[in-house]
Structure 1
Amino acid sequence: MEVFTCARCDAVLTAPLSRVAWIAYAHHTYGNGVTLPVLMAAGTYAVDPEPSGPPWRRWNEIDPAEAEARGVFAPVYSLSYGAPGAIVMAPGDAHGTVLIPERTGGFCCGLDGRDGPNLACARCGEEVGTRIDDCSLWQATWLAPNAVRRVADGPPRPVMTWSAVVERERGTPPVDAYGSWNPRWELAVSVTLAHLVAASGGAPVGVPDGPLAAAFRRSLDALLPPGPPALRADLAGPGLPLPDPVPDIAIVPRHPQTGEPWAPPPGVAAVPLDAEVWLGLAFHDDRLPVPTRGRLPDGVERDDPLPPRPSRPVWLVDQVFRHTLSRLPAVRTPWLRALYDRESARYL
């Protein structure tokens, strides 16, 4: 466990926290006017591996070799030249901070950080971070990496085994009570879709019927060439029997603490998916309620309320898909670069 303290006066600014894997869609918006929940679970934090915040430079001001050295392999609108390593946590885990009154601007329903850091250390007044809670943005508190120090506060949380991940972690429900897709599902699927398209090599990819098809088939059919599937993708991971036949591409969970993907059998390409969404796909219960009288038999569900069903297919979140694709070295291949350019041109 760790706490973060003010780099100027050493005041403690957070509750004890455990580090978890970086969330690839942490900076991305979702929908229009949608109120998103808190990004991070209480008691956890993640570290952005890329620079964030101002100053920014447009793509035409950047040498492509310099961008590649930073892990960006295709044109993007702009790149941050701020400090790397921003820390994100749940707002409720921030202690000893106060809002800076003149920095409380937002687009619609709350704070979005447009005026710069809006949190200060309550003891010394040093700017230490930014509270975000505007609509279409994840509710979060971001600590500036140069304004805080990380201090050990007890033993680190042990890294869970894959068996423990399956036993302890709860899969994120795919839909809410109103039939809307959970934003985490659509965003996580959009990240994985970029990896899946890159792993295809430009060939059509088929997925089995069921929840995997609901998550990926529509976008795969739109992005890859038409025709009979040349490759097969399926779920693989802890707690599941190996698919038969063995797929060409395995959609595997990312460890929630380390971010490392589960390793499939040799010769099978691995495509990572956030563990909470992978668990929801791998261990879903698609049994429909059935009429019955008297005492309910084991394994039979009540029919009130009915389980929620999605009212539409999963949508590709284009900004997340393109952001992920631009960070994959495979995007330099001609066919994938052409796909990337075509998708990007739709938003110019």
Structure 2
Amino acid sequence: MIETYQFGTECKKLGFHFFTGVPCSFLNPLINFAINECEYITAVNEGEAVSIAAGAAIGGKKSVVLMQNSGLTNASSPLTSLIFPFRIPILGFVSLRGAAGLNDEPQHELMGRITAEWLTSMNIHWEYLSDRMEEALQQLNKANAFIDKNEPFFFIVKKGTLAKTELQKQTVKTTNNAVKLSKSTADEFPARIDALKVIQSHADQETVVLATTGKTGRELYQLKDASNQLYMVGSMGCVPSLALGICLARKEKDVIAIDGDGAILMRLGSLATNGYNSPPNLLHILLDNQTHDSTGGQQTVSHNVQFVDIAAACGYHRAVYVHSLSELDGYIQEWKSSKKLTFLHLKIAHGSLKELGRPSIKPFEVKERLQVFLND
């Protein structure tokens, strides 16, 4: 068994100050250390945690994600379609529930057999974390070398590896909605490309623009490619969590996260995390055409969801239903001047540009130039 405080302190010496994750009893000591001694963001699911850590890493923070091995199934989308293609380095700790010979719950049995294989299949370097401190610190330095090469590294943690750490008293924070404006007139239903033009017009040298996967990112790229933009490929539903990580790492920058109805429904819990942390430099815009446009226009269930009410209930300072491009322009300007966590919901027309191309720049090149932009 290793002394968790000493191990955690060595993590901090290597620059790992930003932690996020989902609780697990095997990782309880390290999670408690992170809450007590570091910046820790509680995620609602493991995929969200990976995306938050990715955003913080893009923003320049060496990031750690913690999860139970069952959570690898939830995290597999951002691990394979965000971490891998964008070459984002995160340090991970995943517990080994369901290990051979361990009297554990039946739902962990299969994942206990395939955890290592699962990580290997996702091209993630990993090792079992040693229960001897000297060896564990050597492993930590090895992991750090991979992080420095823009490669993720995970530790698989067996039961009893980490010594107990008492959780200090936590401060309960409450964030409340101050402005909620619901639908009050007829919708204009603009084309997505026209909404993107309005958004791009507000993207100055202090503003990052993140576009959700599918035709949103492709249209943004075709409209105008720029170093302050990132086009999500895959990782559906993860753009607001990626935005949160960047916002927390780079509080001096404004971040606009452009979401879609299919995507936001996939990871709706991210609104709760964003609302709780309430970064004032985040503007979350939902462009809702009530379809999965990239896959042929299949209907979503967004017509039945009151997104403004949900964002308000989750603690977004402003949650506003937007009826037109002129309103969109005005509310973006209001956010730029007043800086409060804001959610805007605009219904748009079905369809997209004909003969729509794809970004010719590779995802990791998009990330690298965005990092240059952030550091200018």
TM-score by length of 2: 0.32
* TM-score of the superposed pair, with normalisation by structure 1: 0.33
